[in-house]
Amino acid sequence: MSRRFITELVAAAGGDAAVQRRIELVLRCWERQQVYIGRMGRDQPRAAAEQLLRAGVARADAVDILVQRFGLTARSCRRILSKAADTFR
């Protein structure tokens, strides 16, 4: 992901340094998994949701990331996150 995207996420989160570090950590994890996720076809949003939940990202932040990354509606992203969370129960 581009540095500009990270900057926009941090600005949207209020610019807090702790939030910035957390977002950068999550996005670095995301970039490492990108090759694997990229081969999953239509399951990409679900795999991404699972990765975000494993990384400990708050649901609201995960919804924002999924909306930005895949261009889905917030409602469908919440549904995807809910189904991904069921796999951890």
User: Is the sign of the CA dihedral 54, 56, 57, 58 positive or negative?
Assistant: positive
C-alpha distance across the termini of the chain, in Å? 30
pTM: 0.54
Name residues whose C-beta falls within 8 Å of residue 4's C-beta, 6 or more positions apart in sequence: none
Q: Are 62 and 51 in contact (CB under 8 A)?
A: no
What confidence score (pLDDT) does residue 17 get?
Answer: 72
What confidence score (pLDDT) does residue 33 get?
Answer: 57
What are the residue ranges spanned by the domains of the chain?
Answer: 3-86
Q: Give the pLDDT confidence of 31-74 residue by residue, as tens digits.
A: 665 544 444 455 678 888 888 888 888 888 888 888 888 888 99
pLDDT tier, 78 (very low <50, low <70, confident <90, very high otherwise): very high
